[in-house]
Amino acid sequence: MNFFEMFAEYAPIFLKATWVTLSLTAVALVFAGILGAGVAAMAMSRIAPLKWLAAGFIGLIRGTPLIAQLFLLYFGLSSIVVLDKFWAGAIALGVHNSAYIAEIIRSGFQSVPKGLVEAARSLGMSRERTLRRVQAPLAFRAILPVLGSQFIIAVKDSSLVAFIGLTELFRTAQNTAAATYKPLSTYAIVSVYYLAIVLVLTAVVNRMEKRLGRHKS
């Protein structure tokens, strides 16, 4: 059985696993987006304790490996609560990404030139109007490409959830390699799947960017 025959034979189970990987990542990213936006709002607020809290959260999450966070949540808490593998994975991946997303959002807003805010305020626009009309749309344009790269990282990082036993793409590859004694073909195959997901995601982000950026000079 050559690579292509194997690819075809194992396509059904890998496609099924792709669905698990995609839904796991999607749930995690929705969660990460909401949490990340909240943390970013705290980081940008004028209230010092909120800022510290956000900075502490971001520092802690970014300073520790995802696999440790995942194991802590799944195995570490097992004496208190046994989480479903999918949800443990989604929460760990979500919390992990929320710290990065918070930083991305914060720096996106920071990239909006102060002069534009002052120009809006000088016209009599309120803080809220300025946020809605000027800061948010410009920050979004700055955030989008970086967010796209973070999403790509998240797809690939979701493979770590294999190590708590969730049968997503990477776990499926591990199982297949063990059963067939063909690790080279198997891991090549799974890489093709990840690559395909990443390429599609990249194309989507590029398109959105083009649409938003078409007015620029």
Partner 1 sequence: MPDSENNPDQSAQDRFLAGDADKGESIVQLRGVTKKFGETVVFSDVDLEVGVSEVVVLIGPSGAGKSTLLRCVNGLEEITSGEIVVAGQTLSYDQKHLNRIRSRIGMVFQSFNLFPHMSVTENIAVAQRDVLGRGKDEAIQKAHSLLERVGLSHKADAYPGSLSGGQQQRVAIARALAMDPAVMLFDEPTSALDPELVGEVLAVMKDLAEEGMTMMCVTHEMRFARRVADRVVLIADHGIAEQGPPDQVLDHPVTERAQHFLSELSDH
Residues in contact with partner 1 by the rule CB under 8 A: 113, 115-116, 118-127, 129, 133-134, 137-138, 141, 215-217
Work out how close the CB of 141 gets to partner 1 at its nearest, in angstroms, rounded to a whole number: 7
Each residue of 90-115: b (16+ CB within 10 Å) or e? bbbbbbbbbbbbbbbbbebbeebeee
Q: Show Cβ contacts of residue 148 under 8 Å, excluding neighbours closer than 6 positions.
A: 201, 202, 205, 209
Minimum CB distance to partner 1 smaller for 147 or for 189: 147
Work out how close the CB of 112 gets to partner 1 at its nearest, in angstroms, rounded to a whole number: 10
d(CA 148, CA 111) in angstroms, rounded, equals 17
Minimum CB distance to partner 1 smaller for 87 or for 209: 209
Minimum CB distance to partner 1 smaller for 79 or for 122: 122
Work out how close the CB of 120 gets to partner 1 at its nearest, in angstroms, rounded to a whole number: 7
Helix axes 136-157, 11-44, angle to 10 degrees: 140
Work out how close the CB of 150 gets to partner 1 at its nearest, in angstroms, rounded to a whole number: 23
Minimum CB distance to partner 1 smaller for 71 or for 140: 140
